[in-house]
Structure 1
Amino acid sequence: MSSRIEINFSRLLTRCENMAKERSLWDWRIEKVNMHYVVALQDQLSQIKKSSMKPGQDMLNEYTRKVEFLKGLLQAEKMPTVTEKALAGEQLPNVAKSAKGHNSVSSAELQKKTVARHQKDLREELLGPETDKLDGK
């Protein structure tokens, strides 16, 4: 049975992961909100670890990996150049390690999309935007 703080933590974690998937939301205001959410996640995680009803060590490790991933993702998005973003994105902690637990597929998908987006942005910076090859231009 999950404690109230763990349920709230899980909801906020899911919300943060969903917000991170939406690239259109990445402007400075959302980054500030997301950073506040990540700080709240860190606070809630430390409360969960101190709780008498804390989950097993595997789940705590998974929660920690996910929070660290989101924190790294926000830091990567703040990088000034596309090259630095791509490098920081490739160095994000691997969240796909967990074999069980809720939402691990979502986190792994988010990680893959982030790396792919950074690589696409880097390609566009180096080669210019892709043109529609069907236009014959």
Structure 2
Amino acid sequence: MGMSRKEINFRRLLGQCESLALENPKMDWRLEKYITALGPILEELQSIPNKPKKDSMTEYIRRVEFLKGLMETNKLSSPSEKVVAVQLLSHAPAATSETITKEIHQKSTSQFVQELRDQLFQTDKGSEEGLRQRKQTLSSDGDLDALLKYHHSMQEKIADDMLSLTRNLKEQSMIASAIIKKDIKTVEKSTSLAEQNMSQLKVESERLEMHRKKANKCWVFLVVLMVILIFLFTVLFMRAFKKRK
């Protein structure tokens, strides 16, 4: 059975979104609208009679989730947050083996890293200008120490922000992983219970079949016995009738 019209339209829209994301990783408002429209169409695909195969549906979901994650990553304000978020996308289930998906991820990563470098360079330049202004007011003895301390504090602040963001993302990933493991255990428990019920149902079916066969045998014996009794009764009746005659 071929693909439905809705699945063909969905694949076209998905391919167009991936092409636009590859050309413009920053994502304009038009691309965001397209990616947002993929969700409802994907839900409709799961409910139509001629729905895609399980493997195809899983691939569609992963590719759509990857684009949504990339869209949310672009909305982050800090370049350091973008770098960490896009790295987590590479280890998420949405990072499929599709060539275009890998290219989008690599290009986005390079862009976010470049933004982070530009920010660090601007911070360094701003720090140097501020320190130069302070140099005019500070005494010559403590000027070098103040410069070094200020520059070092700015670098520590940036590092602390990145570590804090990484820690938060790690905690969220651990929570999500725990929820998924719990759901998997629930599914496994339900599957085991269903298998037990099936085995019990099979045993009961076999037992019922045995009872049915025994009942059939009893009816056969009963009919044979009735035939024999009728035959004997007929013979006795005929003999008795002859004697009277």
Task: Report the TM range for the smaller structure's normalisation.
Answer: 0.7 to 0.9
Q: Check the 8 A contact 2:63/2:95 in 1, yes or no.
A: no
Residue of structure 2 equivalent to 1:124? 118
Compute the RMSD of aligned alpha carbons.
Answer: 1.9
TM-score by length of 1: 0.76
1:62 aligned to 2:56? no
In terms of fraction of residues, the more helix-rich structure is 2
Aligned to 1:91, what secondary structure does the other structure show?
helix
TM-score by length of 2: 0.45
Deviations along 1:17-59, whole A, 9 cap, x unmatched?
Answer: 1111123x736xx2x3222212211111111111211121111
The whole-number CA distance in structure 2 between the counterparts of 1:83 and 1:21 is 21
Residue of structure 2 equivalent to 1:26? 26
**Structure 1 stretches of at least 4 aligned residues deviating more than 4 Å after TM superposition:** none
Deviations along 1:76-120, whole A, 9 cap, x unmatched?
Answer: 11111111111121122344435xxxxx21112211221222122
Residue 105 (structure 1) aligned to one of 90, 99, 104: 99
Residue of structure 2 equivalent to 1:91? 88
Letter in 1 for 2:84: L
Residue of structure 2 equivalent to 1:131? none
1:40 aligned to 2:37? yes
Residue of structure 2 equivalent to 1:8? 9
Q: Check the 8 A contact 1:76/1:88 in 2, yes or no.
A: yes
Residue of structure 1 equivalent to 2:134? none
The whole-number CA distance in structure 1 between the counterparts of 2:19 and 2:96 is 20
The whole-number CA distance in structure 1 between the counterparts of 2:95 and 2:83 is 19
Letter in 1 for 2:4: S
The whole-number CA distance in structure 2 between the counterparts of 1:118 and 1:34 is 18
Aligned to 1:49, what secondary structure does the other structure show?
helix
Letter in 1 for 2:104: L
Higher relative contact order (CA 8 A, sep 6+): 1
Higher Cα Rg, which structure = 2
Residue of structure 2 equivalent to 1:17? 18
Residue 109 (structure 2) aligned to one of 108, 112, 115: 115
The whole-number CA distance in structure 1 between the counterparts of 2:78 and 2:56 is 35
The whole-number CA distance in structure 1 between the counterparts of 2:93 and 2:102 is 8
Q: Check the 8 A contact 2:66/2:95 in 1, yes or no.
A: no
